[in-house]
Structures are given as structure tokens and as C-alpha cells.
Amino acid sequence: MARKMLNDGEPDLKIGEEQGKNYDFDLFIIGAGSGGVRAARFSSNFGAKVGICELPFHPISSETIGGVGGTCVIRGCVPKKILVYGASYGGDLEDARNFGWELNENVDFNWKKLLQKKTDEINRLNGIYKRLLSNAGVKLFEGEGRIASPNEVEVTQLDGTKLSYSAKHILIATGSRAQRPNIPGQELGITSDEALSLEEFPKRAVILGGGYIAVEFASIWRGMGSNVNLVFRKELPLRGFDDEMRAVVARNLEGRGINLHPRTNLTQLIKTEGGIKVITDHGEELIADVVLFATGRAPNSKRLNLEKVGVEFDKAGAIVVNEYSRTNIPSIWAVGDVTNRLNLTPVALMEASLFAKTVFGGQASKPDYNAIPYAVFCIPPLSVVGLSEEDAIEQTKGDILIFTSTFNPMKNTVSGRQEKTVMKLVVDAQTDKVLGASMCGPDAPEILQGIAIALKCGATKAQFDSTVGIHPSAAEEFVTMRTETRRVTGGVKPKTNL
């Protein structure tokens, strides 16, 4: 969730500017991912002269390889969603038989074909992002950027030559990178970068982690036919989400054939002729073709020269910024995952847009982190907006009303799949305001995006109830939950260790 930031008043944009100096650029951006490209385009549209640098393109990142489009486009959200679509057909083909489709018993899956289609798409998007920058009049440099001084960026090109450019403002938008646990044999494992580009499909997979990436890849590989073991330290996956919805996700993962290992960690990986031997802290041994470390990401800030220039950063390497995304050096700003506030692509886009409006649009604008929707693209997906039940109990003084609906989706009544959809509303009993909404089931992200607008507008439960539903649809359940499931007391810290 959002980190504590430095607070200050409306920014004085003349601080940090050398009076009478002519700069090469009004703005120079290090990092051409989602946030960097958005800031570049919007700043240019406000009339700024903008330069931006990015590492050369490759699907798997390193300290010297990246690509215009960044993590989300090249090795994150987009390719992941393509693989989720591919994996979903596995279950759909099973369900199709009861809808009259006579399918042969053996249906083959071609991993390499899907992988090539995925690669073609990220190559296409990489080109689109470059054209967006060019069409906006932004100068793109390919190479590694570092901050030489508060108003100077040094770019190391592919041939090793260094170029220096002065800029009135510098924006850091270098994102984050996947981390590996420090255990013996960790070099035998992979991160999500490599998982999106495996040459051979893993028939046996062990995944360490209980967050977004872990449960999404568990669903992807299982949907394609792999034997998957998901290992995580807590009782339930997706720590930080609503506990009730976490339990639903865990039940669905198991229902789809994924082997869950809660309250478990890995201690060692050993290479053998039969595959990678995985040893847990309970002494259990698993054999895998692939071991995926989905154990978190860290801000990508190590090579930026921050310490020498005096930019403040925390122990994790996250750049500390104020409400306007400004660092303690007035000419240097930062947005996106490198600041470790709320690490989602749409949030980086919001921060970048408001940075441009603040610095070049003449309108000081702070990001608003309230009612931000997000989704976990497991199969079926989970999507949430607003407060979880646990957060509401802790943050609200009065009583909280919980409304839930658990039902068998219409498609499942015919296919025979035993998988319930669960919806939930968290309501302030005193004001009737809807504080949070969540759903686990088919199309959850598409439905919750609309619900997010309602919460952003401060909708009440009475307004939900007065809304006419679309029938037959799952979404109509959100406006027909009339009877409260339970009433809980707010203003206390909820007891949970899940």
C-alpha cells in the first residue's frame, strides 16, 4: 500500500533552477516504461522540450537490458495476460463438452506457438511506444542513464561512449526488478522475466511466493497442463487482500488441481538428472522442471548515482518523494515503482500525468490513492476496490456492514464445474457509504472497473440497491445484495494471522 511520503506545500518550480542558464532539455527522463513515456508525452504536449533514455530491448531484463515500454508491456502485465488467456482455454475446453461440443480426448497444446505470438505482440507494442514518443516530439536515447548532478544526466550508449545533457528537471521512472531469495542453489531458479520466455513448457513447476505473480503463474501453468506446487509462508496466499477473498482464491486454486503448501518456505535447490530437487523447511522434497521465485520486486535504483548527488532513498532503495513526486533535490522527481508507493501500472500513469500537469501545465496536482481498483489474474480472477473488511474494521470507528453473495455462475450450471463466484460489499453502517467491493469469479476485473467509479463518487449502499441490474449477468448481484451477512465493530485491530 502507499508509503509515507514527505509532505510540503505547493511546489516552487524555480527552486533548483540556475537562473539565466540555457538547458539542453526542460525535462530529461530516465526510464521509458509506462510512467516515463506518459510523463514524456504529456510534458511535451504542455510545450516542454523532453529527452528520455532507455536500455536496449530484450524480453528478459538485466542491469543493462530493458526496452521502451518497460516491465508492464515487455515482461509483465501484457505478456502475462496473453498467457492467462491461453491457459483459460484449457478449462473452457473441458467445459465445452456439456455445451454440446464433441471434442477428441487428446487436445494438444503448443507452447512455442503461443510464446511466439506473445513475442510478436510485445515487439509490436515496443514499436508503438517508440512512435508515441516520436510523434510527441520527444528525443529518445538508447542507453543507460545516470544522474551526474542535480541538472545533468549522463547516458552511456551501446558502444560505451558517454553523452551528457543538462535539464531544468530530471524525472526518474526506472521501475522495479524481480528479486531472488538467498538460498543455496538459487541460481537454478527463475523469476517472472524468464517465466514469460521459457523455450520449453514446464511439465512440473514449483513456485515460491504467495502474491500476484505466484498465483497468476500457478494458474497459467496449471491451465496448460503442468503439475504445479505453490509454496508460500502464510496460511493463505495474497497477503494484504481481504481474508475472506483470499480463502476463495485458495479454494479455487486447489479446485483447479494446484498443490498448495501453506506456512512453508524453500531451503535449497539441487540439480539432479531427473530435474531440480526442491527441499522445503519441513523436509519435504519436490522435483521440478522449473522453480519460479515470485518473492517480490525491489526498486530499480542502484545504478542511478543517487547517493553521490544526494537524492534520498530508503533501505529498500525506493526514492523518497513528496506529495507531488518531488525528491529532496528540487530539480529531481520520481514516479512509479521506483518510489514504492502503490506499485501498479495505472498508478504510475496517474503519477506521471500529474507530474506533467504540476511542472509544465501550471496546475499543482497531487495523486489520489483512494479507491484504486486492482486485479489478480488467477483463474478465475480476483478484483477489488476500496477497503478490505480487515482494513475497514481498523480504520472505521462505527459498525461495519458486510454483504456477500456466493453463487454458481450460469455457465457452471451447464458445464458442471464446481466453482463458486463470490462477491462482497463493505459498508459503513452510520453513513451507508460503500467502503469496499471485491469479487472472485469470471470477468471480475471488467465488473469491478465500473464499481470503482461508483466508489470514487462516494456511492451509498442505498444507491447500489436502487440501481437496476443487467439480467442475466453476474454483475447484477452487486445491486441485489439486500440482506447483510454480518455486522462487525469497527475501530479495533482485526485478529488475523492468515
Give the catalytic positions in this structure: 471
| Residue 176, marked binder | yes
| Residue 209, marked binder | yes
Strand order in the sheet with 266-272: 266-272, 275-280, 285-288
| Residue 277, marked binder | no
What is the C-alpha separation between 185 and 52, in angstroms, rounded? 38
Enter the C-alpha cell of residue 430.
Answer: 452510520
Backbone φ and ψ of 113, nearest 5°: -65, -45
Residue 205 burial (C-beta neighbours within 10 Å; 0-12, 13-18, 19+): buried
Q: Measured between alpha carbons, how far is residue 463 from residues 18, 389, 444, 451, 474 in Å? A: 54, 20, 21, 12, 18
Q: Measured between alpha carbons, how far is residue 461 from residues 26, 165, 455, 467 in Å? A: 48, 55, 10, 10
Q: Measured between alpha carbons, how far is residue 169 from residues 320, 359, 464 in Å? A: 17, 9, 45
Q: How many CB atoms lie within 10 A of CB 376?
A: 23
Closest CA to 441 of 427, 424, 465, 455: 424
| Residue 174, marked binder | yes
- Identify the DSSP state of 300: S
**Preceding omega of 380 cis (within 30 degrees of 0):** yes
| Residue 296, marked binder | yes
| Cβ atoms of 29 and 117 closer than 8 Å | no
| Residue 215, marked binder | yes
| Residue 145, marked binder | yes
Q: How many CB atoms lie within 10 A of CB 211?
A: 18
Q: How many CB atoms lie within 10 A of CB 450?
A: 12
| Residue 175, marked binder | yes
| Residue 30, marked binder | no
Q: How many CB atoms lie within 10 A of CB 127?
A: 13
| Cβ atoms of 249 and 219 closer than 8 Å | no
| Residue 298, marked binder | no
| Residue 490, marked binder | no
| Residue 214, marked binder | yes
Q: Which residues are annotated binding-site positions for FAD?
A: 81, 145, 174-176, 337
Q: Which residues are annotated binding-site positions for NAD(+)?
A: 209-216, 296
